[in-house]
Amino acid sequence: DAKTTQPPSMDCAEGRAANLPCNHSTISGNEYVYWYRQIHSQGPQYIIHGLKNNETNEMASLIITEDRKSSTLILPHATLRDTAVYYCIVRVGETSYDKVIFGPGTSLSVIP
Amino acid sequence: GAGVSQSPSNKVTEKGKDVELRCDPISGHTALYWYRQRLGQGLEFLIYFQGNSAPDKSGLPSDRFSAERTGESVSTLTIQRTQQEDSAVYLCASSLGTYWGLGTSGHSYNEQFFGPGTRLTVL
């Protein structure tokens, strides 16, 4: 699986949009971009995933660049409950269960 | 070194039967996670064990699901009275465990290493 790089930490004001970047410059054509988050002392939570088109669900939006070498997770109106570590990973397919390693992720702090 | 192992790799069962899935984490990893992945969907968190702390069971979908872990080693996920909607790949992962910081290997404590999964089919 391709490696990803993310900034170690970010702050966001409550109510504002949180934009979390991820670089995956070596991504292959059949690899999907997945985002998860982990709130302290809880298990990881799936947020969203996509291949090349932008995706939106009730939690977030995923913007993938045309060359697919980077993506941005957008939380449109961040709340204090969104404070967590956010992980960007790339995986082959939607049904693959190859070994996956979560990197350090981005620690997002939502500030009142 | 050895990675996370799971058994069985495939399990076919009849509706209403109980099943038990096993996970052997990487030695020295204090955190252990169970996930479920249905076809075409992302990983769904089920339960999280961290050392001797009370497990985070918030992801278990019903009281038919339970999991145990012996110390910081083997874990078993039990599904009672299986239903067809339980059909999925069940993944186990382990990590060094401490939420923040780096281990001596340079890997983040919260990096998770996944096993190959158990594919459960309920007929």
Q: How far is CA B77 from CA A66, B19, B41, B86, in A?
A: 41, 8, 20, 13
Please tell me the distance from the alpha carbon of residue B40 to that of residue B59, in angstroms, as a whole number: 19
Residue A99 has pLDDT above 50, yes or no: no
What local confidence, expressed as pLDDT, does residue B101 receive? 38
The partner residue sitting opposite B48, judged by closest CB among A42, A85, A97, is A42
Residue of A nearest to B42 (CA): A46
Mean of per-residue pLDDT scores for chain A = 85
The sign of the torsion formed by the CA atoms of B89, B105, A39, B54 equals positive
Please tell me the distance from the alpha carbon of residue B79 to that of residue B11, in angstroms, as a whole number: 12
What local confidence, expressed as pLDDT, does residue B71 receive? 81
The partner residue sitting opposite A103, judged by closest CB among B56, B99, B108, is B108
Q: How far is CA B107 from CA A101, B81, B95, in A?
A: 10, 40, 10
What is the distance in angstroms between the Cα of A13 and the nearest Cα belonging to chain B? 23
In tens, the pLDDT along A35-81 reads 888 776 666 677 888 889 899 988 999 999 999 999 999 999 999 99
Put simply, the answer to whether B47 touches A43 (Cβ < 8 Å) is: yes
Least confident of A54-63, B11-20, B48-57: B48-57
